[in-house]
Structure 1
Amino acid sequence: MTPAPPTAVRRVVVHPDAPTLAAATAARLLTRLLDAQSTHSPVHLVLTGGTVGIATLAAVASNPVRDAIDWSGVHVWWGDERFLPTGDPERNETLARDALLDALSEVLPAANVHPMAAPGSTPEIRTPEDSAAAYAADLARFAPEGSSVPAFDVLMLGMGPDGHVASLFPGHDALRATGVSTVGVHGSPKPPPERVSLTFDAINAAHEVWLVVSGAEKAAPVASALAGDPVDRTPAAGARGRELTLWLLDADAAAGPTA
């Protein structure tokens, strides 16, 4: 797992409820994209799924500031995906297209959207490992010299009640994958059992990692992660940006004993 550099900053921002969290995160994301585009192009953004993650994308879609973004200069990636057929309603890609990406279809080039390959999408994609390898190759095409992944400007993550991020679950073999940017996941404790995920090597290469978390059931793992719990027990503790790790919480998620 790639450690955060000594200069990295961690911040915690708490909003009163989940709808406010989604709206505020959307506004923050649009501002961050605008700021990034003032200095470089392309901009690389990693999306997450989950209830609050998709609500955030819907809030981006309804925010008029979205039209100020040069979407032709934005590349969209995913932190993880369920290894399900294209168009399956449980795929993060499907949810993101419904919430935001379809609304940007005239301004966001299809070639800038990088979903993880679904089973059978090509004859070569038969297993989660096949999809992971294909995604690693796609990531590498946009990576700067010396890296295996693009210079992600913002990498968004949700967190489960067990403290998992992406599809890296407590005690799971995929959690410990190193030296690679992606990993196939089998036996996920949360259905479906087969998934594809970025590894911590890829996650921690991002300039900024945003963990967007809502709900009282998340309060204990949020507190554990912020207190530096072992990654094998609370994976979210290992998600760190090179420049900024930003925890965006609603009041319920922030109500743990040390949050």
Structure 2
Amino acid sequence: MTSERRVLVHHDLPALVGAVAARFITKMIDLLEEKPEVHIVLTGGGAGTGILTAINESDARDQVDWARVHIWWGDERWVAHDHADRNERHAREALLDHVALAPAHIHPFPAPGETADLETAADAHAATLKASASDGANVPVFDITFLGIGPDGHIASIFPESVGARVTDRSVIAVRNAPKPPPERLSLTFAAINGSDRIWLALSGVDKASALGLALAGAAPFEVPAAGVRGRRRTVFFVDSAAAAEVPAELISREY
């Protein structure tokens, strides 16, 4: 299977989230014509939540058969389900509570109090992923995985030069002492993320330009985790003009 990698530049953040939301709805309609269910991985952050809000506000939102959609997350903060820091809460408020998703198809990471500790939570979520997979795989095939990129190049909660950046034999890791608060988190690993058919990375702002440039230049994933993600079919970087400041012109809107 040939994997494509592309960079699509938009004028600003509102243009970016609107374009990605429209693209997502169109792709979802197509996917649901081809298969009985689809699996989507969500991300947090301003761009990620903005895209979900734009999907919710779209006139085409209900053309998606949401009852056949499974929702997962790339990472989560180790806080209560209704905590203001929780990616799950932001996603529910922006989109999930407004569409006809089957409750059993929403698969949040565990929260404190549901397992003995953070490591047990990672094991429990790995088991949930495996139970939803087929053919002995550890994770289902994610049709679309959304990711953001931090100014330091981190994706999900895989941070530069962290233990998690070297894990190859697990689908979920417990993260302690994250360099940004809150320090305790749960995250998918590269192995799980790169099992996705399509990875869509959305980022905006000049503070992301260096990380994006390094990722596209082939930096070591241990140093710039964004360089280590690659969808099985394609990987698309949706960026605004500020974040694209260090992207060579020949890489924009082209496969490479």
How does the TM-score come out when normalised to structure 2?
A: 0.95
State whether structure 2 residue 111 is matched by structure 1 residue 118: yes
Gapped regions of structure 2 (runs ≥ 5)? 252-256
Residue equivalent to 2:234: 244
Letter in 1 for 2:97: D
Letter in 2 for 1:154: I
Aligned sequence identity (%): 47
Q: CA deviation at 1:32?
A: 1.0
Residue equivalent to 2:206: 216
1:15 to 10, 14, 18: 10
**Aligned residue pairs, count:** 249
State whether structure 2 residue 154 is matched by structure 1 residue 164: yes
- RMSD (Å) for aligned C-alpha atoms: 1.0
Residue equivalent to 2:174: 184
User: What are the superposed Cα offsets for residues 143-194 of structure 1, whole Å, 9 maximum, x if unpaired?
Assistant: 1203110111000100100000000000011111111110000010010000
What is the alpha-carbon distance in structure 2 between the residues aligned to residue 257 and residue 72 of structure 1? 39
What is the alpha-carbon distance in structure 1 between the residues aligned to residue 247 and residue 129 of structure 2? 39
Residue equivalent to 1:68: 63
Secondary structure of the corresponding residue to residue 132 of structure 1 = helix
Q: CA deviation at 1:102?
A: 1.0
What is the alpha-carbon distance in structure 2 between the residues aligned to residue 189 and residue 117 of structure 1? 21
Secondary structure of the corresponding residue to residue 93 of structure 1 = helix
Q: How does 1:93-132 map to 2 (within 5 A)?
A: 93-104=88-99, 107-120=100-113, 122=114, 125-132=115-122
What is the alpha-carbon distance in structure 2 between the residues aligned to residue 66 and residue 47 of structure 1? 17
What is the alpha-carbon distance in structure 2 between the residues aligned to residue 126 and residue 85 of structure 1? 14
What is the alpha-carbon distance in structure 2 between the residues aligned to residue 151 and residue 62 of structure 1? 28
Residue equivalent to 2:218: 228
Secondary structure of the corresponding residue to residue 77 of structure 1 = strand
Distance change >3 Å, CA 257–CA 143, structure 1 → 2: closer
User: What are the superposed Cα offsets for residues 59-96 of structure 1, whole Å, 9 maximum, x if unpaired?
Assistant: 00001111001111000000000001120011000010
Q: CA deviation at 1:232?
A: 1.1
Q: CA deviation at 1:127?
A: 2.2
Letter in 2 for 1:221: A
User: What are the superposed Cα offsets for residues 168-221 of structure 1, whole Å, 9 maximum, x if unpaired?
Assistant: 000011111111110000010010000000000000000001111111000001
How does the TM-score come out when normalised to structure 1?
A: 0.94
What is the alpha-carbon distance in structure 2 between the residues aligned to residue 209 and residue 200 of structure 1? 12
Secondary structure of the corresponding residue to residue 95 of structure 1 = helix
User: What are the superposed Cα offsets for residues 7-30 of structure 1, whole Å, 9 maximum, x if unpaired?
Assistant: 111011000000111111111111
Q: CA deviation at 1:257?
A: 5.3
Is contact 2:212-2:247 (8 Å) kept?
no
Secondary structure of the corresponding residue to residue 246 of structure 2 = coil
What is the alpha-carbon distance in structure 2 between the residues aligned to residue 146 and residue 16 of structure 1? 43
